[in-house]
Amino acid sequence: MIYFLAVLVVSMVVTYALTPAVRIVALRLGIYTPIRDRDVHQAIKPRWGGVAMFLGMVVGLAAASTIPYLGGIFADLTPVRGVFAAMLVILVVGMADDAWDIPWMVKLGGQVFAAVTLVLHGIQLEVMPVGWLGVGGPLVQAMLTVFVVVLTINAFNFIDGLDGLAAGVAALGGAAFFIYSYLLTLSINAFDASNLVTLLMAVLVGSCLGFLPHNFYPSKIIMGDTGAMLLGLVMAAGALAVTADVGQLAEGFRFRNIPAYMPILLPLAVTLLPLLDLALAVARRTARGASPFSPDRGHLHHKLVDGGYSHPQAVLLLYFWSALFAFGAVSFNFVDWWLVALGMVLSLGAALVLTLGPWLRRRALRVNRAAASRALRHRLKN
């Protein structure tokens, strides 16, 4: 694991070091987000933070290629090239959108192109881990892959609304996915932990950790669509690539401590918060006859801020929810299920109390005021 952690640190340091330079370039070129009614921030924020994250990931991948222990990942460069090419596509589309607010159809076309690029390089949904069933033929696999990639990209893009939110959620989810992939790889080959999925999660977590000091409230720069879509792409690529590992595992099922459904459960748990926000946004916008991609101020993070939480409090609460689901799912791999279930129930209860706290306090205040008002009227009548 030390080699993956070294790559993580490289990505983190590079991202952290390059972000101020990217910020200066964005400001000089006028690439910043205006102050809009739907936004929480009240100051101009330069975009393109995702450029620094992209460079951090790429340098991390390059550093990994020089480590002999990780040589198995680069024995066949096709998947690595596919991920890099898809990242380049998202980088160009994201930078253009951050600079000129391109039409949503153009942005969607770029996301589909990035997904197709992964498919053409062999990264696609191959096996459903429940029952170890193959996923149709090549056309069905390709279509499902494109759907998963576009869905995940937009889920992370939708959740990027508060300083540090998307980067923190991705870092927590990526860390959980990193642990799972590392353990899964060791179960297949105890002497070789080199795996593309683990490497992707390492560079993703590293870039997020390097970007967060510049992006947490009050942020100096935001990642923009460039960074949010990049995080979604890399997370989706990892979730898809792990199905190939599941296929190997099915041939000789040795990882007995992992439930058979974990390869489906973990990606869903990692992306649950972004996917939930995406689903609610699409339903909300469609109900009022607007485009699912039209912006508004109805996201989960908006609700928390409008409900009474401060900006950083809302972000930390959403971190808690993300960590709860992601690491709760991973815990099923090495802790008795009933202990995990008990911990999840208690943690969910605490999370619900914290989330509903402002509304419950306001409701209690209204009830108390109404009771006091009734008591006062009663005394006046008497």
Query: Got the DSSP string for 237-288?
Result: HHHHHHHHHHHHHHHS---TTS-TTHHHHHHHHHTHHHHHHHHHHHHHHHHT
**Is 160 annotated as contributing to ligand binding?**
no
Residues 95, 160: Cα–Cα separation, whole Å:
15
Q: CA nearest 325: which of 283, 275, 369?
A: 275
- For 194, 288, 354, the CA distances from 187, given in Å and listed in that order, are 12, 50, 38
Q: Where are the alpha helices (DSSP H) in the chain?
A: 2-29, 49-65, 77-100, 104-120, 138-159, 165-188, 196-215, 224-251, 262-270, 272-287, 300-307, 311-331, 337-381
Tell me if 225 is assigned to a ligand binding site: yes
Residue 66 is classified by DSSP as T
The conformation of residue 299, written as its DSSP 8-state character, comes to S
- Report the C-alpha gap between 228 and 90 in whole angstroms: 10
Cα–Cα distance between 110 and 261 in angstroms, integer? Answer: 32
Binding region for Mg(2+): 157, 225
Binding region: 157, 225
